[in-house]
Amino acid sequence: MAAPVAAGGGTVTRRLLLGAAGGLRLRPARGFRTAGGLQVEDETCTAEPAGDVVNVVFIDRSGRRIPVQGRVGEDVLRLAQRHDIELEGACEASLACSTCHVYVSQELLDKLPVPDEREEDMLDLAPQLQENSRLGCQIILTKELEGAEFTLPKITRNFYVDGHVPKPH
Amino acid sequence: MFSSFRFNWLLSTAALAPQICVVGSGPAGFYTAQHLLKHHRLARVDIYEKLPVPFGLVRFGVAPDHPEVKNVINTFTQTAHSDRCAYYGNVTIGKDVMVKELQRAYHAVVLSYGAEDNRILGIPGENLSGVYSARAFVGWYNGLPENRDLKPDLSSETAVVLGQGNVALDVARVLLSPLDILRKTDITEGSLAAIACSKVKRVWLVGRRGPLQVAFTIKELREMINLPGTRPLLDPADFTGLGDVIKDIPRPRKRLTELMIKSAREKPGEKEAALWASATKEWGLKFQRSPLEVLPATDGKQARGIRMAVTRLEGSGESARAVPTGEVEELECGLILSSIGYRSLPLDSSIPFDPKLGIIPNSLGRVQGAPGLYCSGWVKRGPTGVIITTMNDSFDTAQSVLEDLQTGVLNLSNSKEGFKSVRSILHSRGVHPVTFSDWEKIDAAEVARGKLAGKPREKIVDPQEMLQLISH
């Protein structure tokens, strides 16, 4: 299957793994461009990036806390997708959409570098924009972010309906 | 007896797999499908598309010089590759197969077919030569088959775009961009050749209301201000006193207005000043002008200008209204692009449709008065918004479908045949669906042709050529 090259310079190859019950799981494996301009290529489909572990917590759209292990140098969008957390990255970290919008705590906001003007421009289009809004693809993990929490905005009415199969009668 | 028990068991597990179809393969269709597949382990989703090729406005609407926005195609390709998803192009719902027939074949039908038409000005002279909808112009340079023969007249120096949204900026930018930039994009060969011969040097974006009501967004405005070879014409008088008005308004509108004020009123930096001094093309914003009539040239067939009413604003913010003052102004131009909004059309007489709002009446994506029928995207909400708006909206509609599956509103004990029955209907009508792997052949051919020209792809604009390529 053709793997089109993303305009940002990274290649995107994502694989589908089907669970035993026929569920759909997405494990992204892609080269990506970090906010600092570094290009990192993945060789295998579930390879973790190299670098020290950073423990963070995602709070998903139904309020569930999901602790995950990231790596220094990894961006938060990629981290979320590596752990099947439902954070979309439509433009694949090219600052051309706002689908990876997350909320961060105020103290975390103070630790992060000031957003690029281009990130601010895209955040302007994010629904339910708040003071503590950032784009996940632009947050690069450092040791300083140990314990950080990233909250996904509640973008639909509710997100609890999941995979229920009605009993046969 | 054992074999009939087993047979019944097999039937009942097969009956538990919801058969769902989506009409339209743009972002709304694909995001709805993605969410359904992810949150229901057994659901099968078939996506129907009237063109042979998928992706809707991502392919035909997003500007050629915005390739990053098109990266979402990779996400959609993943979805199409799921073994519980199938794509069927070259199938026109409402003609090749009717919605009622889809409802017989599927437990749920999601209408995500977007907005294929545009709002009309409704003024005299609208049909003169030289007047086009921005939608058709965008379709033309993006290779939408129905617009390939547009042959827009680019022989006059001044073009007027009516409307001040992102589509208006797109068409202005494509008209004024240096050819060196355009020729490396996926703009069609035919339109690039026409633009290379274009005499257009100046583009006015005209709005009925004021700077606080512009519909374009900051990224696109910045891009326009920095467009190589061009200079902006912004009248400082249009922005007098705005600095105070915007102090406490929401951030997006504030930042956007600040950028306009800065560009109009502040002296440009050295670099900018030099670029603007050497610019050969220009673009500007005209506010509080409402189109009254397109004026004909002496031959009576060609547009030569536009007469506009000067307006004043009543009210403020998003709900401000433009009221004519009685004063009138004329602007000389030979190319007029109306960029006043896309518009959805009713698909099939059996589907409820609100012609005034141009949407399918619905509640949370459930079509009113039509159980089993849902809608997502522009046909549900109206034709505005960017990818995230449509994504959220599509997930919302998918939630409604999932809820209805869970509560039994969609009754899975009625087993449905899905594509099996649609296939025989299409076959009996001589319609050959294009599969996703057929599309991948077309895709590969476009990319290969593009490579020869130093472009990401060379779009095939003739549907017959597409079908021949896949031997249909």
Q: B-chain residues within 8 Å CB-CB of A96?
A: 66, 68-69, 71
Q: Which B-chain residues 5-34 have CB contacts (< 8 A) with chain A? A: 12-13, 15-16
Alpha-carbon gap, residue B158 to B286, rounded angstroms: 14
**Contact at CB, A124 and B255, closer than 8 angstroms:** yes
pLDDT of res. A34: 37
Interchain pair A127, B392: CB under 8 A: yes
Model-level ipTM above the cut of 0.95: no
Residues found in chain B: 472
Element spanning B170, H or E: helix B166-176
From the annotation, which residues of B make up the binding site for NADP(+)?
164-167, 208-209, 220, 385
Q: Which of B83, B388, B403 sits opposite A99 (nearest CB)?
A: B388
Which residues 6+ apart lie within 8 Å of A83 measured at CB? A58, A66, A68
pLDDT in tens, B244-280: 999 999 999 999 999 999 999 999 999 889 989 999 9
Cα within 13 Å of Cα(A64), Cβ side: 10
Nearest chain B residue to A84 by CA: give it.
Answer: B38
> Interhelix angle for B189-196 vs B134-141, to 10°?
110
Identity of the residue in B75, B251, B447 whose CB atom sits nearest the CB atom of A124:
B251
Chains A, B: CB contacts under 8 A, how many?
A: 140
Q: What is the pLDDT along chain A (169 residues), one digit of tens a residue?
A: 444 434 433 344 443 333 333 344 444 444 443 333 333 444 344 567 778 999 999 999 989 999 999 999 999 999 999 999 999 999 999 999 999 999 998 889 999 999 999 999 999 999 999 999 999 999 999 999 999 999 999 987 755 454 443 333 3
- State the DSSP code for B104: H
Contact criterion met (CB below 8 Å) for A145 and A54 = yes
Chain B residues touching A116 at Cβ < 8 A = none
Chain A contact for B317 (CB, 8 A cutoff) = no
CA distances from A115 to A7, A79, B283 (A): 21, 19, 30
Contact A118 B219 (CB under 8 A): yes
CB B22 within 8 A of CB B47: yes
Residue-level pLDDT at B213: 98
Spans in chain B with pLDDT lower than 50? none
CB atoms A163 and B40 under 8 Å: yes
